[in-house]
Structure 1
Amino acid sequence: MTDGEELPGPRSVLDVHVPDRDDLLVAFVLEEQPADGVLVVTVAQDRTGRRVRVPVGDTVELVWSSRRGPRARDARLLQVDPGAEPTWRLEPLGVVRDGQRRGAVRVEVGLRTDLSDGPRTAEGISLDLSETGVRGRWPLADGWPAVDDEVAVTLQLSEDLLLTGPSRVRRAYPTTDGRVEASLEFLDWPERDQDLVRRRVFERLRQLARRGDL
C-alpha cells in the first residue's frame, strides 16, 4: 500500500535516519513505483545537498507525513541505481509506527511573499525560508506588520505554485528605506503544506550546492 499510512505515497518527502548520523537527511519518493513492494526513492541528501553513502544491506529509518501525523518504518537498502538522479531501492521492514520529524532546515532564498490582514496587504520578498517560518522584507504602513500580528502569508514556491496559510510575526525591525524586515512563524500548517515548503528548501540547497555556494 502507498496510501500514506503503511508506506509513503508517490512524491512524498522523507526524513531518512541513517545509523551513526544525527544530521537531517531528506529523500523523495518517485512518482512511479514497482509492483513488487520495493520502494524507490532518491538517494538521501544532507542539508548541503550532498548525497550520502549507505552500504547495500544496511537498514535506514524512513519518516513521512500522513493523515495521522508522522509515520515511520525501517527499510533495507537493496540497490543503488546510478543516473542523473541516483535512486535507492528499499525493502520495507517490520511494522509502521508513529514517527518524529527532525528539525527544520533554513535556506536563503528570494521568493515573492505577500502578507494580508483583512483589508491590508503587503507585497514583499523572502530572505530565508524553512518549513516552520519565513523571514522577509515588506513595506511598513502605519506600524504594520508588527510583532505578534497574525497575518496570512502567501508564498510563491514556483511559477505555478502558491501556498497560503496563517502566521504570526515573531520579530520585526524597521529599515531605513521605509520597509520592515520581519520573521514569521507558520501556524498549524497541514503536513502536506509543510512538505511542499520542505521540498522547496531542499531544491534550493541542491541549487546552491551545484553552484558551489555551500
Structure 2
Amino acid sequence: MTSLPGINALVDVVLMDGEAYQSRVEDISGKRLTVAAPFGVSSVDVPKVGASMELAWVAGDRRQAVDVKLVELSREQPPRWSLEAVGSTRLQTRRNYVRGGGGEWVEVTLKGTTYQGKVIDLSEGGVRCRMLEDRFDRDDRVEIRVLLDETPITLSGTVLFVRRDPENATYDVIITYETSEGVGRAIRGYVLRREMEERRRNRESVANAG
C-alpha cells in the first residue's frame, strides 16, 4: 500500500462537486491528516463535518489519491481541516476526463427523431450509450438528453463511433461533445459521486462478509 503524503506535502482536495482546491499537509497522525483550509473555497461551499471527498497528490512521478472524510473544521487562524483517510491509496490515472456512471436513461435525437438508450459510461467530453435502433452513423450531429441526480443535461454532439452487435440486437454509440464549465462541473461531480458511492458499497460488502 502506498503511504499517505507527509507533512508539508502539497495536495489537492477534491470536493463532491468535482472541484479541486490546493492545500498543504500540516500534521498527520495515523490515518488522520490536518491540512490548511483549501485555497479558494468560499464560505458557502465549505462542506459539513462527515462529508466525503478525495485527497490527491504527486509522489515521485505518479499521482496518488485516497478517499477521505471531513472529521473536524478548526476555528483557529489560519483555519485547518482534519481529514480521515478511508480505504487504501490508489494510483490516479491521467485521463483527459474522468469516466464513470452507467445505467442512466439517455435520449438521442437525430434529425428530429428521438431514440432511447442507456448510458454505458460518460464524461464531460463524451458518452457511450447502448441503443436498440440502428439509426446512427459516424459524424451524425445529434442532441443528447440525460438525467443525472434528477438534473437534466442537454448537449449537442457528434457521433464518433458505432459498434453493431447483431447477436444481441444492440448498438453501442459513442458521442463526443464540448461542455460549458458549469455543465462540465456537473458531469464531473456526478461521476465522482458515483465512484465514491461504489467504493463505499464495496467496502461495506467486504466488512459484512467478514
Same fold (TM over 0.5): yes
- Within 5 Å, give how 1:172-187 maps onto structure 2: 172-176=162-166, 177-187=168-178
Cα deviation for residue 140 of structure 1 reads 2.3
1:16 to 8, 13, 21: 21
- Within 5 Å, give how 1:136-175 maps onto structure 2: 136-141=129-134, 144-158=135-149, 160-175=150-165
Question: Is the CA contact (8 Å cut-off) linking 2:104 and 2:118 kept in structure 1?
Answer: yes
Q: What amino acid is aligned across from residue 165 of structure 1 in structure 2? A: L
Distance 1:18 1:82 in 2: 12
Q: For residues 142-171 of structure 1, give each alpha carbon's deviation from its aligned partner in whole angstroms, at most 9, with x where no partner exists.
A: xx211111100101112x311111011111
Cα deviation for residue 80 of structure 1 reads 1.6
Judging changes above 3 Å, is the alpha-carbon distance between structure 1 residues 77 and 203 closer, same or farther for their aligned structure 2 residues?
farther
Name the TM-score, length of structure 2 as normaliser.
0.58
Distance 2:145 2:66 in 1: 26
Q: For residues 27-57 of structure 1, give each alpha carbon's deviation from its aligned partner in whole angstroms, at most 9, with x where no partner exists.
A: 9x98963xxxxx725664169871289xx9x
1:45 to 30, 33, 54: 54
Q: How many residues align?
A: 148
Distance 2:130 2:175 in 1: 11
Name stretches of at least 5 consecutive residues in structure 1 with no aligned partner.
1-10, 21-26, 34-38, 57-75, 84-101
Question: Is the CA contact (8 Å cut-off) linking 1:115 and 1:151 kept in structure 2?
Answer: yes
* SS of residue paired to 2:68: coil
Q: What amino acid is aligned across from residue 166 of structure 1 in structure 2? A: S
- Kindly report the root-mean-square deviation, in angstroms, between the aligned alpha carbons of the 2 structures: 3.7
Q: Could you say which structure has the higher helix fraction?
A: 2
Name stretches of at least 5 consecutive residues in structure 2 with no aligned partner.
1-15, 26-37, 57-64, 85-94, 204-210
- Within 5 Å, give how 1:53-132 maps onto structure 2: 78-81=79-82, 103-132=96-125
Q: What amino acid is aligned across from residue 103 of structure 1 in structure 2? A: N
Distance 2:190 2:161 in 1: 23
Q: What amino acid is aligned across from residue 45 of structure 1 in structure 2? A: E
- The structure with the larger Rg is 2
Distance 1:79 1:19 in 2: 10
Judging changes above 3 Å, is the alpha-carbon distance between structure 1 residues 207 and 19 closer, same or farther for their aligned structure 2 residues?
same
Judging changes above 3 Å, is the alpha-carbon distance between structure 1 residues 17 and 109 closer, same or farther for their aligned structure 2 residues?
farther
Judging changes above 3 Å, is the alpha-carbon distance between structure 1 residues 121 and 50 closer, same or farther for their aligned structure 2 residues?
same
Judging changes above 3 Å, is the alpha-carbon distance between structure 1 residues 49 and 186 closer, same or farther for their aligned structure 2 residues?
farther
Distance 1:132 1:212 in 2: 27
Partner of 1:204: 194
Q: For residues 81-116 of structure 1, give each alpha carbon's deviation from its aligned partner in whole angstroms, at most 9, with x where no partner exists.
A: 569xxxxxxxxxxxxxxxxxx831111421111100
Structure 1 runs (4+) greater than 3 angstroms displaced: 16-20, 29-32, 41-44, 46-49
Judging changes above 3 Å, is the alpha-carbon distance between structure 1 residues 110 and 12 closer, same or farther for their aligned structure 2 residues?
closer
Distance 1:211 1:172 in 2: 33
* SS of residue paired to 2:185: helix
Q: What amino acid is aligned across from residue 199 of structure 2 in structure 1? A: A
Question: Is the CA contact (8 Å cut-off) linking 2:108 and 2:142 kept in structure 1?
Answer: yes
Cα deviation for residue 179 of structure 1 reads 2.2
Question: Is the CA contact (8 Å cut-off) linking 1:109 and 1:127 kept in structure 2?
Answer: yes
